[in-house]
Structure 1
Amino acid sequence: MNDKQHTIKSPVTVSGIGLHTGVQATMTFCPAPVGHGYQFQRMDLPDQPIVVADVDNVVDLSRGTTIEQNGARVNTVEHTLAALVGLQIDNVLIKLDGPEPPIMDGSSYQFIQALEDAGLEEQNALRNFYEIPEEIRFVDNGRAVELAALPLNDYRLTVMVDYNSPVLGSQHASLTDISLFKNDISSSRTFCFLHELEALYKQNLIKGGDLSNAIVVVDRVVSEDELSELATMLGKPKVAVKKEGILNNVDLRYKNEPARHKLLDLVGDLALVGRPLKGQILAARPGHAANVAFAKKIKKKMMEANSSPVPHYDPAREPVMDINQIMQVLPHRYPFLLIDKVIHLDDTSVASIKNVTINEPFFTGHYPGNPVFPGVLQVEAMAQTGGILVLNTVPDPENYTPYFVGIENCRFRRMVKPGDTIIFRCWLLAPVKRGIAKMKGQAFVNGKVVMEAEMSAAIVRKDA
Structure 2
Amino acid sequence: MPQQQTLQQPVSFSGIGLHSGNRVNMTLLPAAANSGIVFRRVDLDGGPEIEARAEHVVDTQRSTTLGKGALRIHTVEHVLAAFSGAGVFNAVIELDAPEPPIGDGSARQFAQLIREAGIFAQPDPIEPLRLSAPIELSLGDTQMAAFPHDSLKLTCTSADKGGRFTQFLALEVTPESWERELSHARTFGFLEEIEYLYRNGLIRGASLENAIIVRDDAVLTNEPLRYAEEFVRHKMLDIVGDLSLIGRPLQAHIVAVKPSHQGNTELARAILAQARKPLETAQTFSPPPTSLDKPAGKAESRPAKSSSTVTNSAPTETLVRDGATIETEGVMRLLPH
Interval of TM-score (by shorter of Structure 1 and Structure 2): 0.7 to 0.9
TM-score after normalising by structure 1: 0.59
How far apart, CA to CA, are the structure 2 residues paired with 1:96 and 1:303?
A: 32
Higher CA-based Rg = 1
Q: Does 1:213 align with 2:210?
A: yes
Q: Does 1:118 align with 2:117?
A: yes
How far apart, CA to CA, are the structure 2 residues paired with 1:248 and 1:51?
A: 34
Residue 62 (structure 1) shift: 1.8
Aligned twin of 2:130: 131
Q: Does 1:184 align with 2:181?
A: yes
Residue 200 of structure 1 is aligned with which of 197, 201, 219? Answer: 197
Aligned twin of 1:273: 246
| Aligned partners of 1:164 and 1:170 also within 8 Å | no
Residue 266 of structure 2 is aligned with which of 274, 286, 293? Answer: 293
Residue 164 (structure 1) shift: 5.8
| Aligned partners of 1:23 and 1:99 also within 8 Å | no
How far apart, CA to CA, are the structure 2 residues paired with 1:201 and 1:215?
A: 15
One-letter amino acid of the counterpart of residue 169, structure 1 = F
How far apart, CA to CA, are the structure 2 residues paired with 1:94 and 1:249?
A: 29
What do residues 22-63 of structure 1 show as CA deviations (whole Å, max 9, x unaligned)?
221111111111111111001111111011111111111121
Q: Does 1:108 align with 2:128?
A: no
Residue 306 (structure 1) shift: 4.0
One-letter amino acid of the counterpart of residue 263, structure 1 = M
How far apart, CA to CA, are the structure 2 residues paired with 1:84 and 1:148?
A: 23
Residue 309 (structure 1) shift: 8.0
One-letter amino acid of the counterpart of residue 256, structure 2 = A
What do residues 177-220 of structure 1 show as CA deviations (whole Å, max 9, x unaligned)?
3221001100000000111111010121111101100000111x
Alignment of 1:70-81 (within 5 A): 70-81=69-80
| Aligned partners of 1:53 and 1:272 also within 8 Å | yes
How far apart, CA to CA, are the structure 1 residues paired with 2:160 and 2:173?
A: 27
SS, match of residue 88 in structure 2: coil
How far apart, CA to CA, are the structure 1 residues paired with 2:322 and 2:47?
A: 44
How far apart, CA to CA, are the structure 2 residues paired with 1:216 and 1:71?
A: 33
Alignment of 1:447-458 (within 5 A): none
How far apart, CA to CA, are the structure 1 residues paired with 2:57 and 2:71?
A: 12
Residue 128 (structure 1) shift: 2.4
How far apart, CA to CA, are the structure 1 residues paired with 2:46 and 2:167?
A: 46
What do residues 50-95 of structure 1 show as CA deviations (whole Å, max 9, x unaligned)?
1111111111112100001143110000001000010000100111
| Aligned partners of 2:209 and 2:222 also within 8 Å | no
What do residues 146-182 of structure 1 show as CA deviations (whole Å, max 9, x unaligned)?
111101111111111122668x532012221322100
One-letter amino acid of the counterpart of residue 193, structure 1 = F
| Aligned partners of 2:38 and 2:92 also within 8 Å | yes
One-letter amino acid of the counterpart of residue 268, structure 1 = G
What do residues 263-302 of structure 1 show as CA deviations (whole Å, max 9, x unaligned)?
0001101111222211111101101111111111112112
Q: Does 1:42 align with 2:15?
A: no
Q: How many residues are aligned here?
A: 285
Q: Does 1:174 align with 2:165?
A: no
SS, match of residue 50 in structure 2: strand
Structure 1's unaligned 5+ residue stretches are: 220-243, 311-446, 450-464
| Aligned partners of 1:7 and 1:120 also within 8 Å | yes
How far apart, CA to CA, are the structure 2 residues paired with 1:307 and 1:116?
A: 40
One-letter amino acid of the counterpart of residue 196, structure 1 = E
C-alpha distance 100-38 of structure 1, shift in aligned 2 (>3 A): same
Residue 303 (structure 1) shift: 2.2
SS, match of residue 19 in structure 1: coil
How far apart, CA to CA, are the structure 2 residues paired with 1:202 and 1:18?
A: 17
One-letter amino acid of the counterpart of residue 52, structure 2 = A
Structure 2's unaligned 5+ residue stretches are: 284-320, 324-337
Aligned twin of 2:5: 6
How far apart, CA to CA, are the structure 1 residues paired with 2:260 and 2:115?
A: 28
Alignment of 1:304-343 (within 5 A): 304-307=277-280
Aligned twin of 1:19: 18
Aligned twin of 1:259: 232
SS, match of residue 68 in structure 1: strand
